[in-house]
């Protein structure tokens, strides 16, 4: 039974869900773009405050969800990433010719799904959270459905995500057939020595989640969806959706022994993801496609943390995830600003960024910092993440994986630097795309500058991030 304590613990999720209803009723009453965005941001902000209030009470277990340190940590970053997406979406949608307010509805619903997903301790909430995260994303990616590319992105994501879900459900059915339980604790207890069925179930679930994370054999949708979807939707997809799915995969790996039996598989997937992702990114002349392949490579690095399960897995995984999240949000944020306001096309081709430094020096600086962080150069936060991952691999003596990371990073450096060089070349006299004149005074400008500062700050002084993760770990042990 749900008690008052449980409801209080779920308050952050409930607040976001309530905001969906408020925004929907607001739209039904009167269509206003800016108030809808403000209400959305306020709801997400309230939810962040509620997280602060709930955190002293953690960990709390409700019948289907658990609000523990990991869930609180992930929810905080989900909400921050959603806020960043909204800050950029508002200016971007200013030029959109159709109804704009539905975007916020979809974004809020997807955020609710992501928050449920990271807090799930039962396969039912895991499945529904994942669906609630993916379903609005179809709408967000196909939001500018008059454009062929956007519609294509939405449909591709829909079809492949449905295929992934089918794998996931089949895997769950196999786990249930072996153990008769659906909650993670029960699964962990009854599958101490996983049989063939449990292992195949876990493998199928890994396939299903791998689709969402775009790990290599399941990555084919990624570049097209990144390229076609509206930039704020892609920001949300690349940050919130991937973060939530990775956290739930981390939870499964840490809790259920059947997943730890797949260490070898995960290692192999990690290796091919980082190599294939980086190699394919080399040939890209489109910035969004390049970031898509780079995200494939980054999830290859992240899988290393899951392939080596020991005491440091959780900390390493989360540090790397945060570094990826902040830098990706920043880089995609700059693309969004360049394409703002919406006019049917986006500034995605690399040559549109030629000479950006001479026109918009600060914006070029933000992109530079974020790309350097993705490449893992100090003093950015990306270096800290790479350091953690390599330390984990070396400690576990998984030399193949470490070699893969080093090789992948070396290849990665080449294409990130190629973009950076383009930024500082002399530019064309009449650029087709440019950020709005007053971009730094708008919400979106503040968001990208803030993200770039965060990348630098956490790169120089990562103690707050590490301390908050130690708090998460302490709660796990207690």
Partner 1 sequence: MEIAFYLSGGVAVLATLGVITSLHPVHALLYLIVSLIAVAMVFFALGAPFAGVLEIIVYAGAIMVLFVFVVMMLNPGPLAKARERAWLRPRIWLGPSVLAAVLLAVLLATLWRGDPGPVVEGEMLTARAVGTTLFGPWLIVVELSAFLLLAALVTASHLGQAGSSREPDPTTAREES
Q: Which residues contact 445 (CB under 8 A, 6 or more apart)?
A: 337, 435, 438, 439
Following DSSP, what letter does each residue of 348-359 receive, concatenated? -BGGGGTTHHHH
Site stretch for partner 1 (CB under 8 A), options 16-24, 247-255, 286-294, 419-427 = 16-24
373 binds partner 1 (CB under 8 A): no
φ and ψ of 59, to 5 deg: -85, 140
Among 9, 11, 39, 65, binds partner 1 (CB under 8 A): 65
Asked if 161 interacts with partner 1 (CB under 8 A), we say no
Does 97 bind partner 1 (CB under 8 A)? Our answer is yes
* Residue (121 or 289) nearer to partner 1, CB: 121
- What is the closest distance, in whole angstroms, from the C-beta atom of residue 114 to partner 1 in the complex? 12
d(CA 15, CA 112) in angstroms, rounded, equals 9
**Residue 411 and residue 227: Cα distance in Å, rounded?**
22
Nearer to partner 1, 68 or 102 (CB): 102
Please say which residue, 61 or 395, places its beta carbon nearer to partner 1.
61
Strand, helix or coil at 183? Answer: strand
Q: Which is nearer to partner 1, 65 or 72 (CB)?
A: 65
> Could you say which residues in the range 125-144 bind partner 1, by CB under 8 A?
125, 128-129, 131-132, 135-136, 138-139, 142-143
Pairwise CA distance, residues 126 & 244, whole Å: 10
Using CA atoms, how far apart are residues 206 and 208, in angstroms rounded to an integer? 5
Is residue 195 a contact point for partner 1 (CB under 8 A)?
A: no
Taking the C-alpha atoms of residue 447 and residue 442, their distance in angstroms, rounded to an integer, is: 9
Q: How far is the CB of 10 from partner 1 (least distance, A)?
A: 7
Phi, psi of 413 (to 5 degrees): -55, -40
Determine if 241 is a binding residue for partner 1 (CB under 8 A): no
Tokens standing for residue 391: 């330390």
Q: Which of 39, 41, 64, 93 binds partner 1 (CB under 8 A)?
A: 64
**173 exposed, middle or buried (CB, 10 Å; 0-12, 13-18, 19+)?**
middle
Binding mask 336-355 for partner 1 (x = CB under 8 A): --------------------
82 binds partner 1 (CB under 8 A): no
Answer for the pair 76, 118: CB distance below 8 angstroms, yes or no.
Answer: no
What angle separates helix 381-395 from helix 313-338, to the nearest 10 degrees?
150
Using CB under 8 A, pick the residue from 40, 109, 278, 348 that binds partner 1.
Answer: 109
Which residue ranges make up the site for partner 1 (CB under 8 A)?
A: 1-2, 10, 17, 20, 24, 62-65, 97-99, 102, 105-106, 109-110, 112-113, 116, 124-125, 128-129, 131-132, 135-136, 138-139, 142-143, 145-146, 148, 154
């Amino acid at each position: 039974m749900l008690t008052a304590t449980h409801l209080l613990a779920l308050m952050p999720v409930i607040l976001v869900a309530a905001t969906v209803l408020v925004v929907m009723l607001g739209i039904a009453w009167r269509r206003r773009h800016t108030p809808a965005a403000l209400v959305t941001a306020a709801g997400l902000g309230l939810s962040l405050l509620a997280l602060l209030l709930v955190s002293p009470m953690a960990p709390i277990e409700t019948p289907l969800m658990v609000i523990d340190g990991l869930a609180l940590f992930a929810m905080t970053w989900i909400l921050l990433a959603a806020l960043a997406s909204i800050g950029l979406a508002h200016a971007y949608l200013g030029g959109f010719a159709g109804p704009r307010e539905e975007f916020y509805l979809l974004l809020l619903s997807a955020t609710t799904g992501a928050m449920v997903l990271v807090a799930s301790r039962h396969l039912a909430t895991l499945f529904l959270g994942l669906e609630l995260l993916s379903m609005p994303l179809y709408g967000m990616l196909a939001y500018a459905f008059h454009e062929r590319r956007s519609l294509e992105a939405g449909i591709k994501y829909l079809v492949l995500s449905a295929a992934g879900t089918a794998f996931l459900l089949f895997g769950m059915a196999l786990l249930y057939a072996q153990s008769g339980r659906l909650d993670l604790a029960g699964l962990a207890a009854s599958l101490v020595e996983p049989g063939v069925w449990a292992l195949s179930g876990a493998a199928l679930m890994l396939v299903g989640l791998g689709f969402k994370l775009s790990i290599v054999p399941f990555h084919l949708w990624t570049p097209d969806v990144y390229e076609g979807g509206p930039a704020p939707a892609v920001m949300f997809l690349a940050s919130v959706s991937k973060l939530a799915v990775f956290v739930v995969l981390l939870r499964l790996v840490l809790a259920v022994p059947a997943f730890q039996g797949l260490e070898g598989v995960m290692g192999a997937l990690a290796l091919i993801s980082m190599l294939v992702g980086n190699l394919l990114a080399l040939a890209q002349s489109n910035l969004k496609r390049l970031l898509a392949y780079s995200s494939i490579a980054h999830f290859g690095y992240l899988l290393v943390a899951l392939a080596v399960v020991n005491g440091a897995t959780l900390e390493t995984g989360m540090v790397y995830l945060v570094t990826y999240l902040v830098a990706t949000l920043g880089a995609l944020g700059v693309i969004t600003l360049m394409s703002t306001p919406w006019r049917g096309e986006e500034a995605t081709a690399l040559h549109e960024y030629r000479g950006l430094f001479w026109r918009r020096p600060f914006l070029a600086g933000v992109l530079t910092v974020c790309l350097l962080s993705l490449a893992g150069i100090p003093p950015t936060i990306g270096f800290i993440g790479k350091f953690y991952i390599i330390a984990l691999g070396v400690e576990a003596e998984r030399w193949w994986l470490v070699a893969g990371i080093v090789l992948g990073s070396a290849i990665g450096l080449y294409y990130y630097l190629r973009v950076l060089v383009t930024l500082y070349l002399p530019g064309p006299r009449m650029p087709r795309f440019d950020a709005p004149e007053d971009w730094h005074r708008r919400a979106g400008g503040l968001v990208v500058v803030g993200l770039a500062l965060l990348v630098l700050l956490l790169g120089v002084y990562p103690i707050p991030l590490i301390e908050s993760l130690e708090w998460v770990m302490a709660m796990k042990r207690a």
